[in-house]
Amino acid sequence: MSVDPDELLPPYVGIQLADVRIVRTEAEAAAALSALSEADVIGFDTESKPTFAKGEVSTGPHLVQLATDRMAYLFQTASTAGSATALIVLKPVLESDRILKVGFGLGDDVRRLRAKLGIEPRNVLDLSTALRRGERNSLGAKSAVARFFGQKLQKSRRITTTNWAMPRLSEKQVLYAADDAHVALRIYRHWRANPPD
């Protein structure tokens, strides 16, 4: 029986809970907007409640994640009030031509943000295709962490398919979501600092 080489890698240690902010109030939105506006590049991702029934249309995104080098900010958009608070930050940041937004597999995220929140993300770099080195398939966060950091990014299917529209997210959901945005930024920084030959 062969062992997957990725299984032998040490685990990737992601962002700490103390460095994650769930933005709920206008004051928290103002603080997030200030921090994100100072960044040259931010990590970016969204989560949506999964659909299981045939023909069921997603009402996502239900969570939008943005990360600076030091912090991750989570915006819940399942409720009208949550969307209104989130828009204070998301619209100016995601539509900014100055701030580069990086993430993995962002096509669906961009479409859903446009459809649900009327946001037109600009200056977006999808690392799934940007990091490809002649491979046919696009690169995911898990394989990028293995390639660039020599570590294994834990991606639990159980967490991936949880209900992201819940008003209260579990600690595991919060860390999973924050890591998705934060790891993209870390990989981008590493890639830019160590250009391939």
**According to the model, what pLDDT value does residue 194 have?**
87
Asked if residues 154 and 11 have their Cβ atoms less than 8 Å apart, the reply is: yes
Q: Indicate whether 49 belongs to any domain.
A: yes
Share of the chain above pLDDT 90, in %: 65
Domain ranges, residue 12: 5-189
Residues for the chain: how many in total? 197
Share of the chain above pLDDT 70, in %: 90
The CATH number of whichever domain residue 87 belongs to comes to 3.30.420.10
**According to the model, what pLDDT value does residue 3 have?**
45
pLDDT band with cut points at 50, 70 and 90 for residue 154: confident
Q: Indicate whether 16 belongs to any domain.
A: yes
Composition of the chain by helix, strand, coil, percent to 5: 45, 15, 40
Q: Indicate whether 196 belongs to any domain.
A: no
Q: Indicate whether 195 belongs to any domain.
A: no
Of 64, 57, 66, the C-alpha closest to 78 is 64
Q: Does 64 score more than 50 pLDDT?
A: yes
Of residues 164 and 82, more confidently modeled? 164
Q: Indicate whether 194 belongs to any domain.
A: no
Q: Does 45 score more than 60 pLDDT?
A: yes
Rounded-to-integer distance, Cα 135 and Cα 137, Å: 6
pLDDT band with cut points at 50, 70 and 90 for residue 173: very high
**According to the model, what pLDDT value does residue 138 have?**
72
Q: Indicate whether 197 belongs to any domain.
A: no
Report the number of distinct structural domains present in the chain.
1
**According to the model, what pLDDT value does residue 2 have?**
52
Strand order in the sheet with 100-103: 20-23, 72-76, 63-67, 41-47, 100-103, 124-126
Mean of the per-residue pLDDT values of the chain: 89
pLDDT band with cut points at 50, 70 and 90 for residue 52: low
Q: What is the mean pLDDT of residues 163-175?
A: 92
Q: Indicate whether 174 belongs to any domain.
A: yes
Q: What is the mean pLDDT of residues 170-185?
A: 95
pLDDT tens, 112-148? 999 999 999 999 999 999 988 767 777 889 989 998 8
Predicted TM-score (pTM) of the model is: 0.90
Of 124, 35, 114, the C-alpha closest to 72 is 35
